[in-house]
A and B are shown apart, each in its own frame.
Chain A
Amino acid sequence: MKNMWRDYDPAGFFDELMYSKHQPRSFSYKLLDYFQGMQNEAFQQRVNESELEMLERGITFTVYSDAGNIDRAWPFDVIPRAIPKQEWLRTEKGLKQRIRALNQFIQDIYNEGNIIKQGIMPAEVVYQSKGYRPQCQGMTPPHGIWANICGSDLVRDQDGTLYVLEDNLRVPSGVSYMLENRKTTKRVFPELFRLLNISPVDAYPERLAEMLTSLRPDLSNPTIVLLTPGVYNSAYYEHAFLAQQAGLILLEGADLQVGADDYVYMKTIHGLERVDVIYRRIDDDFIDPEVFRPDSMLGVPGIMRSWRAGKVAIANAPGCGVADDKVIYAYVPDMIRYYLDEEPILKNVPTWLCRKEEELEHVLAHLPDLVVKPANESGGYGMLVGPHASEEKVEEFRLLLRDNPENYIAQPTLALSVSPTSCGDTIAPRHVDLRPFILSGEAIYVTPGGLTRVALVEGSLVVNSSQGGGSKDTWIVDERPVEEED
């Protein structure tokens, strides 16, 4: 039988593991040697093992469709994506720099508003953003940090340059899959870990608990809970997993109430008990029906009152989604220069703001070549990928842009990098991105690597799990030789 790798060809895309068709990169040489040396049947058997493993451990996500909600096994590709440690250290530095600036920005706009007064950003961009919450004006959360948990999406272009595609600051998900992917690789390919120096990822739950504890410096042993929208949320598995691993109390809005003293209480078998820190996995819109959407059944009436009175810490802080806005994204490099007086280490994807007359004209003139995104959506919804879209779709967006230019940005269509991926009976290049997770409390912690998402459909650039994406274990590889064991 022919080797599954024989016809592998990244065809002009930047390949995460290969210099060219047959030439591995220096840090991926041993990894590829291992996989390419495997018999097809042996490889297929490991693939089956990994699928069974995910299924038995109940690692699922929910897909919503007209036919009803289905719990699907998490799609996992067994071939890891590797990044050399030297490159990663620089990326990590860039991510820390970025989150510092973003947090200073949020603190600034809900307080002095200096960045606007100084003319660096136009007021309407900030105050008209959907994520801006006037109810948060005047607040300073613990340590002045608003975005305690951030999941930035990084992508690589054709020439290998790494860009930040977006900063997910509201309720980023995926970290449990990063941890589960590693666990699965360790169970299915234990031999690999003897060949290479791979940074462990399992510190995350502990770091999360530390960060959340640091949000109540006044208490020695705060009660910390994870607020989930419930079992029907597509990320419920992750909520339960993180609560279990980090020792948080998993609960839903109905388990909480705000007392006359403005403290938040949970309903326990002892009666009501005070809650000090809430890691919420519910959007601002739903968190407090007294303040935001009155029809929300998921949140806790009065919780904003309690937060404003400093009687409970909420991570991420309400209102932090303002920095998640794609128009505001375009200003992040300016923020870094303004707040930190540093040059950005990581690049933004070049972005045209349709609110500016001349940039809108450029966008309209090149629409079929561009990616157009609404300012305030996530999960890959509501966007146009010009080169892959039908003519009607392009015309539809032309109208949307003319009607409501403030709400859109456009970016060049990046030729996302690829990585070898198991596709049925062959190995083929598939586009990938990377979502590292950044924790900010008293200190900043970045996961070594993160979650690599992969577009499993040939040619597709959409990596979201809700739209046919899969994931890979991500290795930060130290190229120094592995010390031999006795």
Chain B
Amino acid sequence: MLSRVGERVFWLARYLERVENTARLVNVHTSLLMDLPEHNEINWFTLATIFDAKDAYFERYERVNEYDIMYFLLADPSYSGSLSNSILALRENARTSIDVLPEILWEQINELHLLVKGELSSVGNRRRRQKLLLTITEKCQCVWGIIANHMSRNFAYDFLQSGKFLERVDMTSRILEMTSMLVAETRNEEMRQHEGILWATLLRSLSAQQMYIQVNDSSLKADKVLMFLITDNRFPRSLSFAMNALGNYLNYLPRAESVLQKQQSILRRVQQYDVRQTPAETIQNMMDELQVSLTELNAHITSNWFYPDFSVT
């Protein structure tokens, strides 16, 4: 497989996962805000914080309000992390690796692009926005379904899965980081009343609520929720599961040793995280550190397979 094509499908999967996670997160967050009293610490800006986009936001907007935050995160062509730009990048990566992908996959991604292009002007309208975000999530799931059922287990598949799980660990860690800060002990009385809603939201934003309830009970306790999302070995969006799955797919690729070493060291660290009775700040540091390691791992993958030194014949 060409190095360039490997890179394109790897990023195709990262963007696909990012688009799905972003759409779900924004959707769930909107419904959370409907349940919370106004003027509390969780607001529209929380979303920008999760994406590390504080500075980028204030370079473009003066005030924080629903419309500007939504436009910024979903439609702003000048912000590289906006959902619409992720979809453009997704489409471009698909367009340039079309020869290794099932034909219908390209059609679905192109339809997603057309759909979003046509609906972007409506992000200010809550009802239409929520509907659009749901449709986007569904389209992404459809694409993953095509990959699962129509693609041979070849290197392109392995790069897709690697990209997906790497992106997933990153996103899960960001959401965990933010949520743990919000429910820290130092928060006020009023917020503590809503803790249950917050934990449910956290689980839903990672599509984890039902699976959590099945192994725990329906009482949502901070420790249990966090441990589930970090260490559960059977839920595919937990840090531990996703990090482990990433290793499985990297392992299929040629000359993977050095990359696997890095992946294994991150996995071990994740498995050792114990967040019971841990102050929120510590969790935040853990997640920050994890995100830095993920960036390093991505760089390893890039130099090992996409841009190795080809000068020797």
Question: A: which residues have CB within 8 A of B?
Answer: 55-58, 231, 240-241, 243-244, 248-252, 254-255, 257, 259-261, 265-272
Contact = CB atoms under 8 A, between A and B. Distances in A.
A268 B1 contact: yes
Given A251-B2, A261-B313, A269-B254, 13 more contacts: A56-B110, A57-B106, A58-B95, A58-B106, A243-B98, A244-B101, A250-B5, A251-B4, A255-B3, A259-B313, A269-B3, A269-B6, A271-B310
Contacts of B111: 56
A260 B312 CA distance: 10
Contacts of B5: 250
A244 B105 CA distance: 12
A231 B97 CA distance: 11
Contacts of A55: 114
Interface SS of chain B: helix
Given A266-B2, A267-B2, A250 B99 contact: yes
B103 interface: yes
Interface SS of chain A: mixed
Contacts of A267: 2-4, 310
B107 A58 contact: yes
B167 to A, nearest CB: 20
B98 A240 contact: yes
Interface centre among B4, B95, B99, B308 (most CB of A within 10 A): B99
A249 to B, nearest CB: 7
- Size range of the interface on B? 20 to 34
B155 interface: yes
Given A255-B4, A265-B313, A270-B254, A248 B99 contact: yes
Interface centre among B4, B155, B255 (most CB of A within 10 A): B4
B235 interface: no
Contact of A244 (B98, B110, B308): B98
B313 to A, nearest CB: 4
Nearest to B4: A255
A331 B276 CA distance: 87
B79 interface: no
6 closest cross-chain pairs (CB), A and B: A259-B313, A243-B99, A58-B110, A240-B98, A250-B99, A244-B99
B253 interface: yes
A268 B2 contact: yes
Contact of B2 (A57, A241, A255, A259): A255
B4 A241 contact: no
Interface centre among A231, A241, A254, A267 (most CB of B within 10 A): A267
A114 to B, nearest CB: 41
B44 interface: no
Contacts of B255: 269-270
Contacts of A248: 99
A257 B310 CA distance: 9
Contacts of A254: 4
B96 interface: yes
Interface centre among B2, B3, B4 (most CB of A within 10 A): B2
A259 B311 CA distance: 9
Contacts of A259: 313
Nearest to B111: A56
A214 to B, nearest CB: 21
Contacts of B308: 271
B302 to A, nearest CB: 12
Interface string B217-252: 000000000000000000000000000000000000
A240 B6 contact: no
B71 interface: no
B111 to A, nearest CB: 5
B237 to A, nearest CB: 28
B98 A241 contact: yes
B244 to A, nearest CB: 22
Contacts of A251: 2, 4
A58 B91 CA distance: 10
Interface in B254-287: 254-255
B34 to A, nearest CB: 34
B96 A231 contact: yes
A155 to B, nearest CB: 33
Contacts of A260: 313
Contacts of A243: 98-99
Interface string B110-121: 110010000000
Contact of A57 (B110, B155, B313): B110
Contacts of B155: 269
A244 B107 contact: no
A249 B107 CA distance: 20
Interface in B1-20: 1-6
Nearest to A260: B313
A57 B2 CA distance: 25
B1 A240 contact: no
Nearest to B102: A244
15 contacts: A56-B107, A57-B107, A58-B107, A231-B96, A240-B99, A248-B99, A251-B2, A255-B2, A257-B310, A257-B313, A261-B313, A267-B2, A267-B3, A268-B2, A270-B255
A231 B91 CA distance: 12
A269 B310 contact: no
Interface string B299-313: 000000100101001
Contacts of A261: 313
B259 to A, nearest CB: 11
Contacts of A268: 1-3
Contacts of A240: 95-96, 98-99
